[in-house]
Amino acid sequence: MLWKEYKMEKLDITTMSDYKKVEAVIQLLIDGVLTSYRVATDANISKMSILTLVKGSSKIKNITYQTAIALINWYEENHEKYGITIQ
């Protein structure tokens, strides 16, 4: 296949289950079900990185890999406790 023939498809991360896990955690924070302190402490990430997501000054697609993995792991460890399900 020649380079000219190769068509790169755009990846839509918002449809991925891991993205939805992070989104679900942030929504719980926005709804006041969780505190940023609780999630930051449990996930061992900075409270400020969570607050910027909650306030909307940062977007999920722009967070660091480390923060994303920590929030995904937090979701996987706690989703049943808080009744979180993703579709």
The full DSSP string for the chain is --GGG--PPPP-GGGSHHHHHHHHHHHHHHTTSS-HHHHHHHHT--HHHHHHHHHTSS-GGGS-HHHHHHHHHHHHHHHHHHT----
Domains contained in the chain, number: 1
| 64 domain-assigned | yes
| 6 domain-assigned | no
The whole model's pTM is what? 0.81
| 27 domain-assigned | yes
| 46 domain-assigned | yes
| 24 domain-assigned | yes
| 2 domain-assigned | no
pLDDT in tens, 5-60: 655 566 566 678 999 999 999 999 999 999 999 999 999 999 999 999 999 999 99
Supply the range of the domain harboring residue 46. Answer: 15-82
| 21 domain-assigned | yes
